[in-house]
A and B are shown apart, each in its own frame.
Chain A
Amino acid sequence: QQQVKQSPQSLIVQKGGISIINCAYENTAFDYFPWYQQFPGKGPALLIAIRPDVSEKKEGRFTISFNKSAKQFSLHIMDSQPGDSATYFCAASSSLTGGGNKLTFGTGTQLKVEL
Chain B
Amino acid sequence: KAGVTQTPRYLIKTRGQQVTLSCSPISGHRSVSWYQQTPGQGLQFLFEYFSETQRNKGNFPGRFSGRQFSNSRSEMNVSTLELGDSALYLCASSGDRDYGYTFGSGTRLTVV
The answer to whether A99 touches B104 (Cβ under 8 A) is no
Q: Given contacts A100-B50, A102-B58, are A34 and B100 in contact (CB under 8 A)?
A: yes
Within 8 A of A (CB), among B65-108: 90, 92, 99-106
Q: Are B43 and A42 in contact (CB under 8 A)?
A: no
Contact A89 B105 (CB under 8 A): no
Q: CB of B64 within 8 A of chain A?
A: no
A93 near B99 with CB under 8 A, answer yes
Least CB distance from B46 to A in Å reads 10
CB-nearest residue of chain A to B6: A43
Stretch of A20-28, A72-80, A104-112 that contacts chain B: A104-112
Measured CB to CB, the closest approach of chain A to B88, in angstroms, equals 8
B56 at interface by CB-CB < 8 Å: yes
A44–B99 contact, CB under 8 A?
no
In the complex with contacts A43-B90, A46-B100, A104-B45 CB distance below 8 A: yes
List chain A positions with a Cβ less than 8 A from chain B: 32, 34, 36, 41-46, 49, 89, 93, 96, 98-108
